[in-house]
Amino acid sequence: MKKIILLGNKNKKRVRETIAELEPLFRKRAHVSIIDISDEGETDGLSADLAFVFGGDGAILAACRKLNGKQIPMIGVHLGKFGFLAELTPQEVSQTLEKIFAGKYVISQRMLLACQVIRSKQVIKETSGLNDAVISRSSLSRLISIKLYINGKEVTTYSSDGLIISTPSGSTAHSLS
């Protein structure tokens, strides 16, 4: 592990303080970059061996969008309200780093949805999702017609007020229900 990224929302005081407190631990072992997930800047040229995401599940989902499909393993450090995806506490980071640098870790693969909204044969929105993708009607419409394609093949058409597609990681909302 030569390059580690620390990601978090710098607008949140607890995230800023925790990253500042733990940053020296990371710098002892690797080159460190800190990325603000609330910043809309691009990360095209970014590469790393590992990313630590500070916050809750929302921070991990934002980090996935920020890294835009880059194959960088991520570890969540739970500072938020919900921690289904963020497993570590700040107190466990030092011990976890020792295990990682000793080669005692397993990387689990997660499915990432790549989603496009197409209207009149034009892509109007593209995004990705670790847990789910939600397509819903505007407040003025009653029903919408949604054609579902998977890997470029039409699967079915729905007439509904929306559609939620979930990966095996599931959605936080589903976990709470």
Catalytic residue IDs: 57
Helix (H, G, I), strand (E, B) or coil at 32: strand
Phi, psi of 3 (to 5 degrees): -130, 125
128 Cβ neighbours under 8 A, 6+ residues apart? 64, 65, 68, 69, 112, 113, 114, 115
Confirm if 137 and 153 have CB atoms less than 8 A apart. no
